[in-house]
Amino acid sequence: MCSEIVVWTYDLWKIYKTPYGMISALRGVSFSVRRGEIVGIHGPSGSGKTTLLKILAGLERPDRGEVIVDGYDLNQLDENGLAMLRNTIVGLIPQDYGLIEELTVYENIELPLLLARVPKEERHSRVIELIEYIGLKGREKARPKQLSGGEKQRVAIARALSNTPSVLLADEPTANLDQENAIKVLELFKQVNRDFGTTIIIVSHDPKVLDYVDRSFVIRNGVLREVSPQEALGSS
């Protein structure tokens, strides 16, 4: 495995100001992920998992600290730079899938390619290739509400992969799935990692995820640390 660092953070803080006071969602998070690794981040509800992924994806800015993703210093990027990062470097699979209900499976997967101004023919072949890859051939015209949870999750994965990102960020990808579909989704991550060398960060409560990751971290009250597989199992 190549030991190049692809995600690096140092002393990341995120503080939300609410009418009821300040919430410190991240409190000095420092960690790194090597290219080609799959890592798991486990932690209870409200511990800061989604906040961390949003910062890595350039959707939120930290209040303090450094973030470097595939060589880009996120603090140095303006809004256009962050949009470029989201379109080409990072693929985020949100906790609720984030699919657009009015669009078909095909159109949902095509959307990031449209935004990146990929020419039509190239877009078409890429979308068809991805639909086959996730095993949904024949469902191109279906809308999200006609799909099962596992199928929606796979469409969200295909959409996140459309611009061949270096880093895939998956927020609770098995939370709403039964055992069989959860395993299918985790196998798909393993396959993506093998086929494209994509670095994958999976945030989860689910102990099954531990069988699919190279390293695990636990986050509690906004504080992250690396743990052994046994310790991660205890905290899932």
Ligand X SMILES: Nc1ncnc2c1ncn2[C@@H]1O[C@H](COP(=O)(O)OP(=O)(O)OP(=O)(O)O)[C@@H](O)[C@H]1O
CB nearest Mg ion: which residue?
A: 50
Binding mask 175-214 vs Mg ion (x if CB under 5 A, - otherwise)? ----------------------------------------
Binding mask 94-123 vs ligand X (x if CB under 6 A, - otherwise)? -x----------------------------
Q: Which residues pair with 93 in a beta bridge?
A: 170
Size of the site for Mg ion (CB under 5 A): 2
Residues 8-67 touching ligand X, rule: CB under 6 A, are 16, 18, 23, 25, 43, 45-51
Between 45 and 76, CB nearer to ligand X = 45
DSSP string computed for the chain: ----EEEEEEEEEEEEEETTEEEEEEEEEEEEEETT-EEEEE--TTSSHHHHHHHHTTSS--SEEEEEETTEEGGG--HHHHHHHHHHTEEEE-TT----TTS-HHHHHHHHHHHTT--HHHHHHHHHHHHHHTT-TT-TT--GGGS-HHHHHHHHHHHHHTT--SEEEEESTTTTS-HHHHHHHHHHHHHHHHHH--EEEEEES-GGGGGG-SEEEEEETTEEEEE-HHHHHHH-
CB of 147 to ligand X, least distance (A): 22
CB of 219 to ligand X, least distance (A): 7
Residues 30-59 touching Mg ion, rule: CB under 5 A, are 49-50
CB of 21 to ligand X, least distance (A): 10
Between 45 and 80, CB nearer to ligand X = 45
CB of 221 to ligand X, least distance (A): 9
Partner whose footprint covers residue 112, from ligand X, Mg ion, none (CB < 5 to 8 Å by kind): none
Size of the site for ligand X (CB under 6 A): 13
Between 23 and 111, CB nearer to ligand X = 23
Give the integer Cα–Cα distance in Å for 32 and 151. 31
Give the integer Cα–Cα distance in Å for 26 and 46. 10
CB of 71 to ligand X, least distance (A): 26
Ordered strands of the 21-34 beta sheet:
21-34, 5-18, 64-69, 72-73
Site residues for Mg ion per CB under 5 A: 49-50
Positions that interact with ligand X (CB under 6 A) = 16, 18, 23, 25, 43, 45-51, 95
